Chain A
């Protein structure tokens, strides 16, 4: 009895990892090509941009906010970087730094709208998402930008040993995010203010400062993802990153980060990102129609969140029963 209880508990606690394993096993059986080393490497490389952005999004959602600008920020970082390299003739490193600063500026604007103008995060970043996308089109006149130096390929297409550079960047960002959220005092502030902003404020936390920090961090992550994307595609397309925010949010929520804020671990997000990667890759290998792929991804999100919610209401019920028993 106690042993079985522990298994249940473990599933409830780390459910998303079990889901990840199940999905993995399913495709390993269903497709011969899936388990090859090249394909598995492909999976992680494909999800690297998603993973990088998901780290920033995780921080934002933990504060009980949301950042819909990630797709547009990804796009504008690429566009700015491309323009600087091709039209202004800047060195790639300088271009990348300036592009990342542009991304950070977008995050600062989000935070300003949310903290000072007091627009709810959903609306503030929704408005900004469209605005930034428009600026991308204006900057590039609706046309792709290309013609970079070969060396720029390294970021998105290079390898260190057998490991793709984007994957290394993703891992570094995840480790940074982990240290930030679980080891630094700012991480503690973020969890606290996401769970109870008023109590955090009364504890002397600079709420406004923390929001600037998280939205700028999120934008920085997406900016990095944008540079990786630019290097992979080797051209800046005005449509790059369109709809990307939905994938990022899906991965984060799949990873068990509560949309209400203050709950969830970054480790779960790793699983969330991998599930999306495996699903996308596996469905392509199985030749599933791309329209159906969209249906499956949507359903996966709903199931994951639904299970999470049901788990919570079950917990609530048992909690009440325990209380009633104590009272009796």
Chain B
């Protein structure tokens, strides 16, 4: 038994309806090490972190802190045990000062008043020890992302945290800021703080991590010393799985171009995006979260301002200023966030299916019930939406059935180009297969399909070509014949 362990997760399992997020996962953290946790999207990293910080309760297994079992861990309890997590979305109150944020809920008091001077002083001491210069009386909303992150770390330090969890800490940092962060992490490590470090950026792990644990599909794969492995070895650990699904390969596309994108750039991220989509083709978009795939969809759909470039549909240049314009030009978007962007949870299945193309089932301004009935019945059967009645509220359906309702909403019209953004996220295996079959049928019917997916097997199994993006640019294109998960991951994590 390793004497030096501070935190241990033994045989941890956690299921959500429809998904086994963690399956018998073991993870251990030594005192004063930086232990990286890697895996593809959906591998179970976030779930593990949430269990360690008490945000989720485990179904089975145990968590040991310095050899003692922790039961019924709550976020508050985890904090008392010295476990602090810093997420990509910060937990700071923007309109309070740095010092007020650090001591939120633990303010220094002078009778009934908050002792600001003492809080500022003490915050300064912490930053001094961290080797960073932040004025503690400044308002947090005035700080840059990098500084906000430092404030979060300072808060953790002030709580005497012995375990610090960093979730993608460098995602929004510049190179210089990343360097500073690494210096700080090394300093904390030398002071005996143990760090769990989650990152998609394999190169930086070589510099910062001591050991790496790989998760895949909610299962523990391996833990390796950084010295014993390299980038290729890590990628093969992250991937290394069979394509479990049965992916219907569509018939080859015709040569007719339905959509051409030339030199597309947007204000926020995209830079010089060029690609062509043929009739009947499924074009995959791969890349990590934040690579700009969704932004491509948004730009095509008239949601983000296009600063430069052209969108050409059927040989005609179009400008989509808003979604209704894009729909008019024959583009449909099945958005990535089902609950917030896809379905109308407060409406029934019937009302949802008829929503987008309601003009088609209306006479003048009134909805024609008979036409609506026909349309709704057709799609309920076609997509096999399981429900007691089409009058049922969509909020009562399972994720997979909700997603089918979103699809029906879009298939009711006759869009030539359909963009699927993560169409199978968070839905069960059976519904996934049905959606794959449906996408294939649509391609066979001559639709041009853009498939954005973070699930490698799905992306590879469905697409004829795959465009891989990294930080707003197209990093490369792979055809179905020479694609592999390794090649995609290699492109997606950005070559140096």
Cβ contact within 8 Å between A195 and B345: yes
CB distance from A212 to the nearest CB of B (A): 15
Contacts of B137 in A (CB 8 A): none
Q: Which residues of B contact A184 (CB under 8 A)?
A: 362, 365-367
Mark interface residues in B351-391 (1 if CB within 8 Å of A CB, else 0).
10011101100100111000000000000000000000000
B347 near A203: Cβ-Cβ < 8 Å: no
Complex Cα distance, B346 from A199, in Å, reads 12
How far is it, in angstroms, between the C-alpha of A71 and the C-alpha of B340 when the chains are bound?
Answer: 35
Q: State the Cβ distance, B452 to closest chain A Cβ, in Å.
A: 15
Chain A proximity of B304: nearest CB distance (Å): 13
B327 touches A (CB below 8 Å): yes
Q: Interface stretch among A12-20, A106-114, A186-194?
A: A186-194
A195 in contact with B341 (CB, 8 Å): no
Main secondary structure of the interface of A (DSSP, over half): helix
**Given A191-B346, A327-B16, residue A185 in contact with residue B341 (CB < 8 A):** no
Total number of A residues with any Cβ neighbor in B under 8 Å: 26
Residues on A with beta carbons closer than 8 Å to the beta carbon of B15: 327
Contact (Cβ within 8 A) A326 B365: no
In contact, B355 and A203 (Cβ under 8 angstroms): yes
Report the Cα distance A262→B346, complex, angstroms.
7
Determine if B344 is an interface residue (Cβ-Cβ < 8 Å). Answer: yes
Q: Which of B333, B347, B358 contacts A185 (CB 8 A)?
A: B358
Contact of A192 among B327, B347, B359 (CB under 8 A): B347
Q: Which residue, B333, B342, B346, B367, has most C-beta atoms of chain A within 10 A? A: B346
- Chain B interface SS verdict (over half): mixed
User: Which residues of A sit under 8 angstroms from B342, Cβ to Cβ?
Assistant: 199, 202
- In the complex, what residues of B have CB within 8 A of residue A327's CB? 15-17
Please determine whether B344 and A204 come into contact, CB atoms closer than 8 angstroms.
Answer: no
| Contacting residue for B333 out of A188, A189, A202, CB 8 A | A202
- Shortest CB-to-CB span from B334 to chain A, Å, is 9
In the complex with contacts A196-B340, A199-B340, A262-B346, A204-B324 CB distance below 8 A? yes
List B residues 288-334 near A (Cβ within 8 Å).
301, 303, 322-324, 326-327, 333
> Is B474 part of the contact surface with A, judged by Cβ < 8 Å?
no
Q: Which residue of A has the minimal Cβ distance to B351?
A: A188
Give the contacting residue for B359; candidates A185, A200, A201, A323; CB below 8 A: A185
List the B side residues contacting A199 at CB < 8 Å.
335, 340-344
CA distance A195 to B352 in the complex (A): 12
A168 adjacent to chain B (CB < 8 Å): no
Set of chain B residues within 8 Å of A202, measured between Cβ atoms? 301, 303, 323, 333, 335, 341-342
Chain B residues contacting A179 (CB-CB under 8 Å) are 366
B residues near A189, Cβ cutoff 8 Å: 358
Residue A91 lies at the interface, judged by CB distance under 8 Å to chain B: no
Task: Report the minimum CB–CB distance from A268 to chain B (whole Å).
Answer: 15
Across the interface, do A326 and B343 meet the contact criterion of CB distance under 8 Å? no
A326 to B398, CA, bound (A): 11
Q: How far is the CA of A326 from the CA of B323 in the complex (A)?
A: 37
Contact among B327, B340, B346, B354 with A204 in the assembled complex (CB-CB below 8 Å): B327
Bound form: Cα–Cα A196–B394 in Å: 13
CB pairs A–B below 8 angstroms (30 shown): A183-B367, A184-B365, A185-B359, A185-B362, A185-B365, A188-B354, A188-B355, A191-B346, A191-B347, A191-B351, A192-B347, A194-B346, A195-B344, A195-B347, A196-B344, A199-B340, A199-B341, A199-B342, A199-B344, A201-B322, A202-B303, A202-B335, A204-B324, A204-B326, A204-B327, A205-B324, A206-B322, A262-B347, A263-B346, A327-B16
Chain B residues with a Cβ under 8 A of chain A: 15-17, 301, 303, 322-324, 326-327, 333, 335, 340-347, 351, 354-356, 358-359, 362, 365-367, 409
Measuring CB to CB, which residues of chain A are less than 8 angstroms from any residue of chain B?
Answer: 179, 183-186, 188-189, 191-192, 194-196, 198-206, 262-263, 323, 326-327
